[in-house]
Chain A
Amino acid sequence: MTSFKELTVSEAVLKNPGVYVTGIALFCNFIMVFITFIYVPSFLAMYSGLPPEQVSILSFIFYLMGFPSSIAVGIIHAKLKLGSPLAAIGLLLNAVGTIAMLYVKDFTSLLICIICIGWSNLWPSSSCLSIAGTIVPPKFAGTSVGVVSCLGFVGGCVGSFVGGMYMIARYGFPAGWWLICITSLIGLCFAILDIRFERRALAKASTA
């Protein structure tokens, strides 16, 4: 068996399928994150019919939710020893929250949707970054996080340009939300697929 110390960057990171599966899960998550970061505040301002002060409160809550939620998901991930299921749950919650947002208009219902989206928005990012750092030997953690994040940020570009600028501008907010929903569900499949790679990496790490 090849020990971790003998591995090269290519063997440890570039030939590791788990890195790419994690990257694709993050790719889908970032499409959604980049659209929601830009469009949740504008959606609330232009589409919800709420007064500006309520829009400000909801936008602030949306951003603020990410703080306790990321810490919470990190702690749960540490207890469960697996991050992929949490990434999958986060992506699913996002899809549900964004679709629900299209069909409600009152402050309380929108608040529930915002909490749901804001709470789950960064679950996949947090889990995928942890997986990227632990799926390879610590010596290659930077490169692995770099590769996974690069795939994620390509998703971010797609989210901003295709989702944000083109689809929402041309077809309106519902098109953007459905794009978020579809990418969340694709990401969910990859997050589920990632469970296998994460388990294998954990088993390998414990025997090394």
Chain B
Amino acid sequence: MDNVDVTEKSEIPKYRWVILAVSCLGTFSGFLAMNSFASIAPFLIEGGVWSVADLGLWSGITTVFCTLFLMPSGILADKYGRKIITGFGLIIWVIASIIFPISPVLKLLSRALMGIGYAMLWVAPSALLVSWFSRKPSEIPAAIGTLVGFWMLGGAVTMVLPVYLFFLGGGLAGGEFYTFMIMGVIVLVIAIVFWVFGKEKPTSSIGG
């Protein structure tokens, strides 16, 4: 069953903390998936594999697609469920991470998919927390603040982990492929954890 039953209307579900934890895990993986290319870029540019123009193009594509899909993501999250849209965003990231190192054309597609996934992950977990914390609205800002904080923790980890993986995978000879595959696997594990523990609403039906 997708929801947690709350018999008393006034009851504040303790499961909200689990929802906060899995939502934070989801957003944490956001920067890992999206910005890994930036931290290994200096080595690949120096090796003549990528150019500075490539980086600008990839960042731009992601930002534009993210901007375009933010509003539709919000509407879809309200209509079909915030858990579904968050999970969908995570799966998009897994696919985008895996296809990124394969070919130049797939790199562009990957960055566009990253933008769409980013839009979903930016909007849906915030709305999910609002549903879970709405019985104690005073906690909503703290929950959303924590969620935003995990984006940034992901950002800090992104400055270290991809570089380590890049050299572990052989540097210029295969390091790029290895890094993005591992990132894809990490996000996949997080997506599974989110899907297992994430619940739509603290009521017996989605409509509440």
Contacts and interface: CB of A to CB of B under 8 A. Distances in A.
Given A66-B149, A157-B64, A74 B144 contact: yes
Given A74-B146, A75-B142, A133-B130, A156 B122 contact: no
A48 interface: no
A141 B78 contact: yes
B174 interface: no
Contacts of A9: 75, 78
A156 to B, nearest CB: 6
Interface in A42-93: 59-60, 63-75, 77-78, 81, 83
Interface string A111-136: 00000000000100111011011100
A64 B137 contact: no
A138 B135 CA distance: 10
A161 interface: yes
Among A60, A74, A77, A154, the one with the most B-chain Cβ atoms within 10 Å of its Cβ is A74
Among A125, A126, A127, the one with the most B-chain Cβ atoms within 10 Å of its Cβ is A126
A153 B67 contact: yes
A37 to B, nearest CB: 8
A190 interface: no
A154 to B, nearest CB: 6
B148 interface: yes
A130 B145 contact: yes
B116 to A, nearest CB: 13
Given A139-B78, A141-B126, A150-B70, A71 B142 contact: yes
A143 interface: yes
A157 B150 CA distance: 22
Contacts of B96: none
B141 interface: yes
Given A142-B127, A153-B67, A59 B159 contact: yes
B7 interface: no
B129 A133 contact: yes
Contact of A145 (B56, B123, B152): B123
A66 B156 CA distance: 9
**What does DSSP make chain A's interface, helix, strand, loop or mixed?**
helix
Interface residues of A, number: 51
A17 to B, nearest CB: 17
B145 A153 contact: no
Given A74-B143, A127-B141, 18 more contacts: A66-B153, A67-B152, A71-B146, A74-B141, A75-B145, A78-B138, A78-B139, A78-B142, A134-B137, A141-B126, A142-B74, A143-B71, A143-B74, A145-B122, A149-B74, A150-B71, A153-B63, A156-B63
8 shortest interchain CB distances as A-B pairs: A74-B145, A146-B74, A66-B152, A77-B141, A70-B149, A142-B77, A142-B127, A141-B130
Interface of B: 56, 59-60, 63-64, 66-67, 70-78, 82, 85, 119, 122-124, 126-127, 129-131, 134, 137-153, 155-156, 158-160, 208
Interface of A: 9, 34, 38, 59-60, 63-75, 77-78, 81, 83, 122, 125-127, 129-130, 132-134, 138-147, 149-150, 153-154, 156-157, 160-161, 165, 205
26 contacts: A63-B158, A64-B153, A66-B149, A66-B151, A71-B146, A71-B149, A73-B145, A74-B144, A74-B146, A78-B138, A78-B139, A78-B141, A122-B148, A126-B148, A134-B130, A134-B141, A141-B78, A141-B127, A142-B126, A142-B127, A146-B70, A146-B77, A146-B123, A147-B71, A149-B123, A160-B60
